[in-house]
Amino acid sequence: MKRPSLGAILLGLIPFAATCFSVALWDRIYPMVLGLPFNFFWLALWLFLTPLCMWGAYRFERTTDDPNDEGGAH
């Protein structure tokens, strides 16, 4: 199969870096933000930022034919 483009892969790695590998940096209670402990707030924030990254990746990866086209032949 065609592999995803480098740009799309890098955009997908951002949420992994921010919410998975970096846990030691943000797993703390203070400062509380919007009434949430910092670790909780940080992960909740990435529920919104991840779609932004993936929307960027989508612009790299989407196939050019009409997505609702039944045939969709390349």
Closest CB 70 distance from other proteins, rounded Å? 7
How many amino acids of this chain bind other proteins (CB under 8 A)? 50
Contact 6, 63 (CB under 8 A): no
Binding pattern to other proteins, positions 41-60, x when CB under 8 A? --xx-xxx-xx-xxx-xxxx
Dihedral pair phi/psi, residue 36, rounded to 5°:
-105, 145
25 vs 12: CA distance, rounded Å: 20
By C-alpha distance, which of 49, 51, 44, 56 is closest to 10?
Answer: 56
Closest CB 31 distance from other proteins, rounded Å? 11
10: contact with other proteins by CB under 8 A: no
31: contact with other proteins by CB under 8 A: no
